[in-house]
Chain A
Amino acid sequence: MRDDDLSRRLFLGAGAVAAAQLLLGACDSKGPRSAQRFLRYMERRNEGIERALFRHTAMDAGSPGRRLAGSALPSYYISRTVPAWDESLRGVWRLEIAGLVARPLALSLPELMRVPRITRRVNHYCVEGWTAIEEWTGCRLRELAKIAGASRDARFVDFQSFDSGYHESWDIESALHPQTVIAYGLDGSMLGAAHGAPARLFSPIKLGYKNVKYLTRIVFLPAANGGYWSDRGYEWYAGV
């Protein structure tokens, strides 16, 4: 073996060891920490692609002929116990519509139920990978936006709840999709406390964690406002 051959091998070997150390040294179970910037950059690029793909005409068909999940639908909330609106403490529940709107509203449940309603059987796509078929009754968010006179400057919508401050903000295009509803009925009955009563956001076009339950306020905004899971590492756009 010639000397330059040997030195080249040593150089390549040392390089490989250094690369492995760089990779493993900065590594915990979530991968190298230095990769977080790369992951955030890729999330933004993916959001751009997802927004370019997005169409209001693309609808979830709801797997026709399949059974409703019914009681098999898991119930998730972040509070320690099932969040329930206590009228004796907080007064009558109202859904506030605020922000960049011409006519801010505070709708009681009966008022909300007078807005043109739809009932649709659709899929629920959970970030965990499961789906469930549910039948939601409510009004389209685009109806509420029309009634409140949402401004053209409103590019985002923040959905806020009384579940220990849980909230998620959406892009306006997804919020105004015809399958995005403020739901107060599930599978033919009024929505129960386990699934977000008195009213919740539901749309098959976003992952479950974007569909805020226990709504209190819908705020039209010029900029995104993150969200409970989006601020904790989950993808903000989360469209399906």
Chain B
Amino acid sequence: MSHRHHWIVRVTHWINALAIVLMVGSGLRIFNAYPAFARRGETFCCWPWEGHGIPAWLTFGGWLAGARNWHFAMMWVLLLNGCAYLAFVYLHGEWRDLVPRRGDARDAWEMLRFYTYRRADHPRQGKHNALQKLTYFSLPLIAVLLILSGLSIWKPVQLAPLTTLFGGYVWARYWHFMATILLVAVSAVHVFMVFAVDPYSLRSMTTGGYDESLSPESRNARPFRKVLPRRGTTREQLDA
């Protein structure tokens, strides 16, 4: 049994998860007040579902004002929590497990080959496999896009140069929405992979403990394959 995640990583992870859920839910409720991108009297090129709202059960905040109040409150929780996490992984050295390095592109390709049964054995990995690293590393980049496009919508006059950078208010709103879809997609894949490939990581993200003998690499696990420990092998044997 090894200790995988520092308590700061675990706490910021779950605050992050809650804050993202509330931000996405309230953001979708805000979007539903005008579920389109076109300026009044104009048309918009690049969104095929102009005028179609998001199902209410996916939204949070109850009404427009409620959703806005939540959105403008939780944005600070998300930002400060994200900064605390990034500062910690930088100062404590965990960034080395997350920043892509030379060879990660090839390793990611090997992971894809493994997941598609074109390779028999799980590629060797450190704390995370190369696909995971690329996914986790993309999150701060998506966050930067979300924060800057969000500021452009919040203060299109006082921060006009920033809004102009995104192509004006209409496009800033569009990029904010697209970045949200990207974040939701990445998060959905993340949650799917936790349950389908490495449910044991749930433990490492709550109490911190991780059984390396149950890692996907040890189990040679693909999604929904070899999720359980190898048959005929007890925990004690694996620990030995």
Q: Which of A49-57, A81-89, A164-172, A218-226 contacts B (4 or more CB under 8 A)?
A: A49-57
Q: Are A240 and B156 in contact (CB under 8 A)?
A: yes
Shortest beta-carbon distance, B180 to chain A, in Å?
Answer: 14
B34 near A235 with CB under 8 A, answer: no
User: Which 9 residue pairs spanning A and B have beta carbons closest together?
Assistant: A72-B41, A30-B62, A42-B73, A132-B40, A129-B34, A233-B65, A128-B33, A69-B41, A29-B62
Q: How large is the interface on B (under 10, 10 to 19, 20 to 34, 35 or more residues)?
A: 35 or more
Docked-complex contact A131 and B62, CB < 8 angstroms: no
**Residues of chain A from 24 to 82 with CB closer than 8 A to chain B in the complex:** 28-31, 38-39, 42-43, 45-46, 50, 53-55, 58-61, 63, 66-74
CB distance from B15 to the nearest CB of A (A): 13
Q: Give the residue of A31, A58, A129 whose beta carbon is less than 8 angstroms from that of B158.
A: A58
Given contacts A61-B160, A130-B34, whether A232 and B65 have CB atoms under 8 Å apart is: yes
Whether, in the assembled complex, A10 has its beta carbon less than 8 Å from a beta carbon of chain B, the answer is no
Per the CB 8 Å criterion, the residue count for chain A at the interface is: 49
List, in ascending order, chain B residues with CB within 8 A of A133's CB.
Answer: 39-41
Do the beta carbons of A43 and B62 come within 8 Å of each other? no
Chain A residues with Cβ under 8 A from B30's Cβ? 129
CA–CA, A124 and B34, complex, Å? 14
Q: Which of B162-184 contact A (CB under 8 A)?
A: 168-170, 173
Contact assessment for B73 and A38 in the assembled complex, using a CB-CB cutoff below 8 Å: yes
Q: Is the CB of A127 closer than 8 A to any CB of chain B?
A: yes
B34, B69, B73, B156: residue with the most chain A Cβ atoms closer than 10 Å: B69
Question: B72 contacts the other chain (Cβ, under 8 Å)?
Answer: yes
Query: What is the distance, in angstroms, from A36's C-beta to the closest C-beta of chain B?
Result: 9
CA of A198 to CA of B12 in the docked complex: distance in angstroms?
A: 55
Q: Which of B34, B69, B73, B170 contacts A126 (CB 8 A)?
A: B34
